Structure 1
């Protein structure tokens, strides 16, 4: 059955375009391992992955390639990275594969370190792809023909770029929010940038890596090729001459070195970004490649590529603009600025399916934030509710599609927790039991006697995520510490009505309610806790009462009393879960008036 969502609609367009061109479906992502590859960068991978995967679900071959821009220059020393200090500044201007990794890394270079960190997460997320190292491509001579072609046609390339340089200057100066739009497929104007998108583009232009590279223009003439100096290894070079017939290229470097080389044999340089990207589209026959706001602002590389790709015998791919992904409470992420949440951080507290769902459920042009705080509990509630709707056949088409894409790929399902328990419930139990597995299993086993959990392994990987979140992300004020003994002063000061409510909770006190131990399950304790205020006001314990303000106030007062007597706070975990965790004997000891 074909799914119905934004992924399906893009896949339709991609398949039709591939058929028109008589070419295989190639979806591309580009990642620069200039620092931690963060959760914003992950959208660059997830969007093509989801589209390629949908194509495969239809029985059509699709190639998802990830181009590692590891031949980019090292631009700055990211702040706050473990094992990195200002001594790395001496490597600015070198290819990322020529920069040493952070201290303690087992990898051979800066690029390899951050690439490996990302690839582990991509594997965990079920993303299948073909890797391309731009260092290997350039140093092996794979692009030599394309480089010589670009140098031979440099005047034509320069003429194209010159149409955009005034736009480049305006963008660099900071385009006004809401101004302009970028052409879409076929040269049609794309929607104008919103204020948020334009502001994000301006912020991105300063720290986006490849998007900020020059286009090869210089006072001494235009050359679309930038050598890395063979002496100092940096790109602080200026091409001073080139002979089309012999391919002799002369350059000088800021370090003082100058030389003349045969470009047809030279392997120490690359095309400037605005020429490199369309060249690669043609080389790989890319049909689909999205890009961020920074690449699609007026005069940027994606817009320029529309006119340069045909020079290399191809066309600009279908490439929707994707909006930024943020972290709740954090300013815009930038790999070159150091400590930012990466996919591995999210996977420590979220199951892979949930991470995938965050990207699959929203169209690429919709921005969203990822929460690492207590908001994750609400997110999991939404996910669990979706799972129930899907199993009951009640999910809408887009909801169903997002759930399927989150939990599986074309040829397999992703690992799931065999016995999923509410994230917020597990968090409360892990917090209260301080990770004691025997205690945890005892409590979880009482949540639903009709479907008991027999082993903590049935709770994994969700339990592992919860334990890590409680240990590293749970706010100190949200932690639960159960009293070691009765709050004698509070019990002594209790009113007659409060004493009656406590006796009713524990023993029924002559009401329709029974002893608290008789219903020692999550359902039974929920009935008992919510039933006490109802019975005290003349309702049946299981009666549904709506709009009774006095009852609502009485429930709040009763709940606050229980929290103060149990954990010395006015709020805390859901009371039925808290009572389960504490156990019947200790509950009696703490609540007996």
Structure 2
């Protein structure tokens, strides 16, 4: 199916896929394009107080999906900025980094002025920023990395900082009613950096000369200090900082998590007080860990991108991030196999879908348009069951079994399946094998397994998976009754595979081989003897 750009644009204008819904906000914002032909600016933010995790990556990915959707609707230029708030003061020592005692000595200092606990970069922020860029680059994102330190110290924010000082009282009027009484007493939109200790100070500030950028404050030693707020000698409270960036950079779109709804509102009011216009935005739900707690950089309770990519391909991660962004989702190792198989299911459907359905198919947004051809002859779940039964195995051995099921099976013919074989071996080794327990069947189950074994023995060589599945189904219906087929399949999973869930057993038996499958049954029956 070939679609022209005009067809795509017409369908995108009507698509209910969330990236297109978001992109249409920007069309409404600038019906005639941004003034002077300036690019529509998308921004994502990162606080490098902890190691970047999939939640960080998720925001860049989803923003990029909106940017790509906008490109289908408009020829206007766009740009994406990945902004690192590395001037922020370190509030607490993260749980998942080395040399915590050293970091504790630098609490309160800007992240870009704290030694790197990993010993590989000039600062803690530089290390974490490098990690961020590394995994953004791995995905091929088109973005400009911006460091708060570079922009503050280099004077890029000086004019905006002067405007903050001019509008100091208006900003205070916005922020103070939102704070607890004890916080109001010390709150200041501007945070001076102590000339004595280098700490980002949370102290009241007096605006001495807004045009010159001069402020005064009482430092840690009780001395009144007058100094410039420009050139990296101060930074802004983050809600004020966020608003200032929107105005100074001309940000048109930025999404944020549900936990920042109030912050978006307050920063929007501050942006207007500074004479700017808040960006369009999107509120997404948070990723949760296996215990249902919000993922935190400092706790390190989320998956790293390296962990996901050890056990699943890049496309599965992008697929997981795309789906249901307004719904809280658990993010842990157990979700990877389902994400892999769901991705391939949607990818297989894409070529035969009409254009409107294609635009709503997650893989359209994963691949930013045309989706690669190809389909998998087996599911990732089935691969996991195979390698789980095999125990310690090599990729070559797995391909040997795949030959029972797939004509001319080879890594060269199915390179994407070959990638999945590697992921399956790693996942089964680390997460499946330790949990497997093949229980002994009871007398009734053992009798049913014997009947199944007899049926398998009578099948012709090379029997199709559907024929094997029919045998499995009919055996269960005869031995357990149609209403108790669920118990029959659970028996097969628990006694043969060692798990409470499993694949279509006809497909598994065909993949594992009839003779090997009969040996599994014999071993199970022997355990119950």
The alignment's TM-score, normalised by the length of structure 2, stands at: 0.82
Q: Alpha carbons of 1:121 and 1:569: their partners in 2 closer, same or farther (altered >3 Å)?
A: closer
1:82 positional shift: 4.3
1:136 positional shift: 0.5
Instruction: Show the counterpart of 1:504.
Output: 455
Q: Alpha carbons of 1:233 and 1:519: their partners in 2 closer, same or farther (altered >3 Å)?
A: same
Instruction: Show the counterpart of 2:55.
Output: 40
SS of residue in 1 equivalent to 2:239: helix
Does 1:128 pair with 2:93?
no
Instruction: Show the counterpart of 1:189.
Output: none
1:437 to 375, 395, 417: 395
Tell me the distance in 1 between the aligned counterparts of 2:144 and 2:364.
Answer: 23
1:292-330, CA deviations, whole angstroms, 9 ceiling, x for partnerless residues?
A: 233222xx3x22233322343321111232221223434
Matches within 5 A, 1:289-308: 289-297=254-262, 300=263, 302-308=264-270
Does 1:368 pair with 2:329?
yes
Contact between 1:65 and 1:131, CA under 8 Å: does it hold in 2? yes
Does 1:448 pair with 2:406?
yes
1:179-216, CA deviations, whole angstroms, 9 ceiling, x for partnerless residues?
A: xxxxxxxxxxxxxxxxxxxxxxxxxxxxxxxxxxx7xx
Tell me the distance in 2 between the aligned counterparts of 1:559 and 1:311.
Answer: 63
SS of residue in 2 equivalent to 1:66: strand
SS of residue in 2 equivalent to 1:473: helix
1:154 positional shift: 2.0
1:165 positional shift: 2.7
Does 1:478 pair with 2:457?
no
Tell me the distance in 2 between the aligned counterparts of 1:558 and 1:473.
Answer: 22
Q: Alpha carbons of 1:230 and 1:467: their partners in 2 closer, same or farther (altered >3 Å)?
A: farther
Instruction: Show the counterpart of 1:210.
Output: none
Instruction: Show the counterpart of 2:19.
Output: 7
1:132 positional shift: 0.8
1:11 positional shift: 0.8
2:189 to 216, 219, 224: 224
- The answer to which structure, 1 or 2, has the higher relative contact order (CA under 8 A, 6+ apart) is 1
1:532 positional shift: 4.5
Instruction: Show the counterpart of 2:117.
Output: 102
Tell me the distance in 2 between the aligned counterparts of 1:420 and 1:353.
Answer: 18
Q: Alpha carbons of 1:528 and 1:448: their partners in 2 closer, same or farther (altered >3 Å)?
A: farther
Contact between 1:498 and 1:558, CA under 8 Å: does it hold in 2? no
1:78 to 89, 94, 112: 94
Matches within 5 A, 1:21-60: 22=35, 23-58=38-73, 59-60=75-76
Tell me the distance in 1 between the aligned counterparts of 2:98 and 2:185.
Answer: 37
1:522-545, CA deviations, whole angstroms, 9 ceiling, x for partnerless residues?
A: 4453344345457x68xxxxxxxx
Instruction: Show the counterpart of 2:3.
Output: none
Instruction: Show the counterpart of 2:199.
Output: 234
Q: Which moved more, 1:127-136 or 1:314-323?
A: 314-323
Does 1:254 pair with 2:220?
yes
Tell me the distance in 2 between the aligned counterparts of 1:367 and 1:151.
Answer: 39
Q: Alpha carbons of 1:428 and 1:218: their partners in 2 closer, same or farther (altered >3 Å)?
A: same
Q: Which moved more, 1:245-254 or 1:331-340?
A: 245-254
Contact between 1:418 and 1:460, CA under 8 Å: does it hold in 2? no
Does 1:320 pair with 2:334?
no
1:450-493, CA deviations, whole angstroms, 9 ceiling, x for partnerless residues?
A: x6345474424333332332233337333679xxxxx9x999x9
1:567 positional shift: 6.1
1:107 positional shift: 2.7
**Structure of higher CA gyration radius:** 1
1:111 positional shift: 1.6
Contact between 2:404 and 2:513, CA under 8 Å: does it hold in 1? no
Does 1:525 pair with 2:471?
no
Q: Alpha carbons of 1:339 and 1:559: their partners in 2 closer, same or farther (altered >3 Å)?
A: closer
SS of residue in 2 equivalent to 1:65: strand
- In structure 2, the gaps of 5 or more residues are 1-7
Equivalences, count: 504
Contact between 2:383 and 2:424, CA under 8 Å: does it hold in 1? yes
SS of residue in 2 equivalent to 1:150: helix
Matches within 5 A, 1:541-552: 550-551=481-482
Does 1:336 pair with 2:321?
no
Contact between 1:248 and 1:260, CA under 8 Å: does it hold in 2? yes
Q: Alpha carbons of 1:394 and 1:523: their partners in 2 closer, same or farther (altered >3 Å)?
A: farther
1:112-157, CA deviations, whole angstroms, 9 ceiling, x for partnerless residues?
A: 2222323333233343211111011011111112222322332333
1:273 positional shift: 2.2
Matches within 5 A, 1:85-164: 85-103=100-118, 105-158=119-172, 160-161=173-174, 164=175
Contact between 1:429 and 1:577, CA under 8 Å: does it hold in 2? no
1:426 positional shift: 1.1
Tell me the distance in 2 between the aligned counterparts of 1:401 and 1:13.
Answer: 21
Contact between 1:18 and 1:24, CA under 8 Å: does it hold in 2? no
1:389 to 346, 349, 357: 349
Instruction: Show the counterpart of 1:355.
Output: 317
Tell me the distance in 2 between the aligned counterparts of 1:498 and 1:425.
Answer: 21
Does 1:560 pair with 2:525?
no
Tell me the distance in 2 between the aligned counterparts of 1:569 and 1:357.
Answer: 26
2:379 to 399, 416, 422: 422
1:405 positional shift: 0.3
SS of residue in 2 equivalent to 1:70: coil
Contact between 1:325 and 1:370, CA under 8 Å: does it hold in 2? yes
